[in-house]
């Protein structure tokens, strides 16, 4: 197409237009560096490690960014997508370091960041009937590369059931319970930590875990299990922290629990960070 257009221009006695001006590369005189600039909300297929099935295919919402020195007016946004697409139609977690390095090289940056958030699915059997259902968990990978140094944080968000110990202690009939969400972020050493193991640590710390499919015998079981294992939001983060402390490969963690209160017009939360 370009050849035909150029031929037509020459035939008309005119020369082709000059190259388009690169506005982003102009010098900026405000002397203000930008910490992060990039693109958000890119949907892309990825493949992650699965403890039972080796790998799992899912779709991630991806943010990519770099730092911008004070003397550059802007960054080249198209190069973020070029770096991502250069690694194929489906991104593997092992591709993250090379994507970050590619971003640094293409955009002449000192530091590059990539965040991936995606649904992760596990098969779960109901506790009594054994009915099989799929549970989805939100997982986030946050990676950064600066001067050849790599930082990687894995985050999982796990829904749980919590039952109030105070309500149980003062009520003659029942106790209020609710769904809670536990967000666990970890850094680890040479050996990666399984997503499934983080999820299990959280679910074992709550009054009861959450299932996608329950028959009536299952519903009776989980209701009674929650009643027998009341936890405050403070208990919940401490229970998770105890389990994370025992893991030999976790070097840092942050645990946040939020109870979506069933009898209050607000949520309760607690946070523990160590490492």
Q: Do 65 and 148 reside in the same domain of the chain?
A: no
User: H or E segment at 231?
Assistant: none
Q: How confident is the model at residue 76 (pLDDT cuts 50, 70, 90)?
A: confident
Distinct helix (H) and strand (E) counts, the chain: 7, 10
Q: How confident is the model at residue 8 (pLDDT cuts 50, 70, 90)?
A: very low
In a domain, 17, yes or no: no
Q: Which pLDDT value is given to residue 256?
A: 98
Q: Do 137 and 269 reside in the same domain of the chain?
A: yes
Q: Do 34 and 101 reside in the same domain of the chain?
A: yes
Q: Do 179 and 273 reside in the same domain of the chain?
A: yes
Q: Which pLDDT value is given to residue 41?
A: 95
2: three-class secondary structure by DSSP? helix
pLDDT, mean over the chain: 89
**Phi–psi pair at 247, nearest 5 degrees:** -80, 125
Single out the residue in 51, 80, 114 at which a domain terminates: 114
Range of the domain at 76: 28-114
Q: Do 65 and 185 reside in the same domain of the chain?
A: no
The pLDDT of 61-70, averaged and rounded, is: 88
Q: Do 55 and 181 reside in the same domain of the chain?
A: no
Q: Do 164 and 197 reside in the same domain of the chain?
A: yes
Number of residues that make up the chain: 275
Q: Do 39 and 93 reside in the same domain of the chain?
A: yes
Q: Do 151 and 243 reside in the same domain of the chain?
A: yes
CB atoms within 10 A of CB 79: 20
Q: Do 174 and 107 reside in the same domain of the chain?
A: no
Q: Do 168 and 272 reside in the same domain of the chain?
A: yes
Q: Report residue 115 as tokens.
A: 């965040």
Q: What is d(CA 193, CA 195) in angstroms, rounded to the nearest whole number?
A: 6
In a domain, 80, yes or no: yes
| pLDDT digit string, tens, across residues 104-141 | 999 889 999 999 999 999 999 999 999 999 999 999 99
| pLDDT digit string, tens, across residues 168-183 | 999 999 999 999 999 9
Q: What is d(CA 74, CA 272) in angstroms, rounded to the nearest whole number?
A: 39
Single out the residue in 92, 114, 136 at which a domain terminates: 114
Q: What is d(CA 55, CA 33) in angstroms, rounded to the nearest whole number?
A: 40
Single out the residue in 68, 94, 114 at which a domain terminates: 114
* Torsion, CA 96, CA 100, CA 106, CA 108, rounded to 10: 180
Q: Do 58 and 78 reside in the same domain of the chain?
A: yes
Burial 198-212 (b: 16+ CB within 10 A, else e): bbbbbbebbbbbbbe
In a domain, 274, yes or no: yes
- Confidence check: pLDDT of 74 > 80: no
Domain with 223 in it: what CATH number? Answer: 3.10.270.10
In a domain, 130, yes or no: yes
pTM of the model: 0.86
Asked if 46 contacts 116 with a C-beta cutoff of 8 angstroms, the reply is yes
Q: Treating both helix axes as pointing N-terminal to C-terminal, what angle do 233-246 and 195-203 enclose, rounded to 10 degrees?
A: 140
Instruction: Work out how many domains the chain is built from and give that number.
Output: 2
Identify which of 141, 122, 129, 116 has the alpha carbon closest to the alpha carbon of residue 202: 122
């Amino acid at each position: 197409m370009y050849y035909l257009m150029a031929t037509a221009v020459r035939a008309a006695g005119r020369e082709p237009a000059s190259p388009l001006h690169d506005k982003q590369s102009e010098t900026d005189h405000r002397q203000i560096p930008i910490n992060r600039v990039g693109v958000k909300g890119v949907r892309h297929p990825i493949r992650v490690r699965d403890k039972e099935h080796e790998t799992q295919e899912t779709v991630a919402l991806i943010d990519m960014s770099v730092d911008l020195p004070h003397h550059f007016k802007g960054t080249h946004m198209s190069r973020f997508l070029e770096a991502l697409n250069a690694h194929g139609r489906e991104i593997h977690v092992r591709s993250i370091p090379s994507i970050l390095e590619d971003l640094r090289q293409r955009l002449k940056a000192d530091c590059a960041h990539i965040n991936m958030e995606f649904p992760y699915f596990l098969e779960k059997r109901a506790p009594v009937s054994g009915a099989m259902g799929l549970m989805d968990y939100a997982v986030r990978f946050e990676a950064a590369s600066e001067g050849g140094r790599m930082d990687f944080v894995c985050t999982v968000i796990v829904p749980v059931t919590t039952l109030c110990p105070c309500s149980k202690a003062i009520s003659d009939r029942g106790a209020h319970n609710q769904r809670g969400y536990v967000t666990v972020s970890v850094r680890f050493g040479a050996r990666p930590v399984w997503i499934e193991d983080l999820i299990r640590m959280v679910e074992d710390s709550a009054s009861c875990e959450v299932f996608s499919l329950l028959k009536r015998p299952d519903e009776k079981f989980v209701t009674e299990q929650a009643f027998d294992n009341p936890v405050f939001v403070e208990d919940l983060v401490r229970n998770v922290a105890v389990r994370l402390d025992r893991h030999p490969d976790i070097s840092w963690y942050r645990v946040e629990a939020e109870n979506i209160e069933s009898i209050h017009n607000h949520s309760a939360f607690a946070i523990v960070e160590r490492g």
